[in-house]
Amino acid sequence: MKVLRGIDLTIYQGEILALIGPNGAGKSTLLKTISNLARLTAGRLIFDGEEIAGLGPEAICRLGLSHCPEGRRIFGTLTVEENIVAALLPRSPEAGVVMERSYGLFPILAEKRNDRASTLSGGQQQMLAVARALAAAPRLLMVDELSLGLAPKVTHAIFETLLQLADDGLTIIVVEQNVGLALNVSDYAMVIEGGRCVVEGPSHLLEAEPRLRDLYMAQVDD
Amino acid sequence: MALVLQFRNVSKKFGALAAISDLNVDFKPGIITSVIGPNGAGKSTAINLAGGAYPLSGGAIFLDGRDITGLPPYKLAQSGVSRTFQNLRLFEDMTLIEHIEVCELTRTFRQVPLEVFWPPAARRMAVEREKRAMAVLDKFDLAGIGHVRARDLPYGHRKLLEIARAIAVRPRVLFLDEPAAGLNFKETRALGERLLALRSPDLIIVLIEHDMDMVMRLSDEIYVLHQGRLLAHGTPDQIKGNTDVQTAYLGSPNDHQALQAAARTRESRVRIRTGEGVTWH
């Protein structure tokens, strides 16, 4: 089955790219293709001038591509802290620095650092998944379904952090169902439907596209 | 005032953690009641307690005046408590129709011998059972794909199937744990319409959800939990305007504006894509 067809995507350093579209459109597959959890049938993947299409997932991680997958995928039997430690790579800063940053971002994780990850609430597990992806000190961060199960306030806090990280040069791809918010925050966005990109452009311009508004956004006034 | 699901001074501790403390809430039939609150506030724990997943540490739960505290999950299911899960729990190798058909077992248990030993009756019953299953699926526009296996469904349909299955047991209480999570705006709106259509005078519907557009549209009453306690209770408008709720959960309208402002200043700084416009393919 062809899940993606003829996707052309360019993302520059420090940019936030949002992937938008219905379920089953191929957004998650696109992320998996980049991190090589799904094999490319045709086409090329270039990261920082290097062809990465044939590399194994672990080599991709070492290059600095970090993937926070849909469904959290945390290690339930490990503690919160062990989950973060498990994500450390040779390229990561020292463990202490990573912990401090993770807990600064999500204070609730600090309170629960010695608890088994399976005892966390759904939203807290999502926070842990994001913290873990950041622990790998990525150059490209990919987050699938960022706001899934998160309180509105926490979603805002994570997006704020992503803005800061992007200002510091981190490149970010997010899959996000809250299209209004995704376009607010991202620099560039692509709408994927049936494995193809149907429309793309700078986010602030897409926000004003009437056809897109009808399909994907809650009207501000209702 | 007996027809209601009541939590009375309900507490739940996990070791030292007080997940729920002294909670008093009433869920009424005929309306949609939402439970919202920050991550880890105890929302799913409250459902799990009502569903008998683990024992209470204190207090009692009543359904229609009857004390149902401590009943095992299957007894609670028989008393009409039905739920969906945050992480989908489907039978991957079964078709949609089969998912709904298994829900009939408790109602038709006595006919099993007849079905096993009398083939003509079995054929007739199978036809009727499938018809009933299709009727349930039809409420969610899933009848057309009734013979598809769960593992082959896209995510949005999987969520609908879970709700269809929860409804198929003809519950008295329906708990929905984040039904809109992972659905896009259009799918969420469509789901909302379906949930509104489920309202009936003898069904208690409890919605746990972070999609505030959906919560505010659908709810007749809202309970806000925070750190295992009741923070607020009221209509959608009362809750939206409640400053305690804004601080703990919603974030103030200013927060959203601040985020937009931060992103805008960034747009003026990052000029990587200067001159690029919107491209329709």
Evaluate if residue A222 carries a pLDDT over 50.
no
Name chain A contacts of B17, Cβ cutoff 8 Å: 119
Nearest-Cα residue of chain A relative to residue B281: A198
Distance from CA of B214 to the nearest CA of A (A): 10
Chain B residues 55-84 with CB within 8 Å of chain A: none
Domains and CATH numbers, chain A: 1-64+138-222 (3.40.50.300), 75-137 (no CATH)
Predicted pLDDT at A211: 81
Nearest-Cα residue of chain A relative to residue B257: A184
Q: Cβ contact (<8 Å) for A184 and B260?
A: yes
Q: Cβ contact (<8 Å) for B182 and A177?
A: yes
Distance from CA of B38 to the nearest CA of A (A): 5
Evaluate if residue A141 carries a pLDDT over 90.
yes
Whether B16 and chain A come into contact, CB under 8 Å, resolves to no
Structure confidence by residue, pLDDT tens digits, B6-48? 999 999 998 888 999 999 999 999 999 999 998 889 999 999 9
Q: How far apart, in Å, are the Cα atoms of B194 and each of A203, B197, B198, B199? A: 32, 5, 6, 9
Q: Could you give phi then psi for residue A46, rounded to 5 degrees?
A: -115, 125
Rounded Cα distance between A109 and A154, Å, is: 13
Q: Cβ contact (<8 Å) for B86 and A159?
A: no
Whether B274 and chain A come into contact, CB under 8 Å, resolves to no
Long-range Cβ contact pairs of B186-192 (< 8 A, separation 24 or more): B186/A22, B186/A215, B186/A216, B187/A22, B187/A23, B187/B156, B188/B213, B188/B214, B191/B159, B191/B160, B191/B163, B192/B217, B192/B218
Distance from CA of A176 to the nearest CA of B (A): 9
Q: Which residues contact B252 (CB under 8 A, 6 or more apart)?
A: B246
Q: Cβ contact (<8 Å) for B178 and A149?
A: yes
Whether B197 and chain A come into contact, CB under 8 Å, resolves to no
Nearest-Cα residue of chain A relative to residue B216: A222
Domains and CATH numbers, chain B: 1-80+171-254 (3.40.50.300), 89-169 (no CATH)
The pTM of the full predicted model, rounded to 2 decimals, is 0.81
Q: Cβ contact (<8 Å) for A23 and B276?
A: no
Count the alpha carbons within 13 Å of A18 in the hemisphere toward its beta carbon: 29
For residue A51, the one-letter residue type is E
Tell me the mean pLDDT in the region A98-127.
Answer: 90
Distance from CA of B16 to the nearest CA of A (A): 11
A131-155 in b/e form (b: 16+ CB < 10 A) is bbbbbbbbbbbbbbbbbbbbbbbbb
Q: Is A107:A134 a contact under the CB 8 Å cutoff? A: no
Distance from CA of B215 to the nearest CA of A (A): 12
- Return the percentage of chain A with pLDDT > 90, whole number: 48
Q: Is B134:B104 a contact under the CB 8 Å cutoff? A: no
Evaluate if residue A63 carries a pLDDT over 60.
yes
Q: Cβ contact (<8 Å) for B262 and A160?
A: yes
Which residues of chain B fall short of a pLDDT of 50? Answer: 1
Evaluate if residue A218 carries a pLDDT over 70.
no
Q: Cβ contact (<8 Å) for B272 and A14?
A: yes
Count of CB pairs separated by less than 8 Å, A with B: 141
Tell me the mean pLDDT in the region A72-87.
Answer: 92
Nearest-Cα residue of chain B relative to residue A12: B272
Predicted pLDDT at A220: 41
Name chain B contacts of A150, Cβ cutoff 8 Å: 39, 210
Which candidate, A130, A139, A117, places its Cα nearest to that of A157?
A130
Tell me the mean pLDDT in the region A66-74.
Answer: 85
Rounded Cα distance between B248 and B43, Å, is: 14
What ipTM did this prediction achieve? Answer: 0.80
- Residue scoring higher pLDDT (A124 or B88): A124
Whether B89 and chain A come into contact, CB under 8 Å, resolves to no
Q: Cβ contact (<8 Å) for B39 and A14?
A: no
**Residue among B156, B185, B270 minimizing CB distance to A15:** B270
Q: Cβ contact (<8 Å) for B281 and A197?
A: yes
Rounded Cα distance between A39 and A19, Å, is: 20
Tell me the mean pLDDT in the region A89-115.
Answer: 91
Q: Cβ contact (<8 Å) for A151 and B37?
A: yes
Nearest-Cα residue of chain B relative to residue A165: B266
Q: Cβ contact (<8 Å) for B210 and A187?
A: no
Angle at A158 between CA A156 and CA A159, to 5 degrees: 65
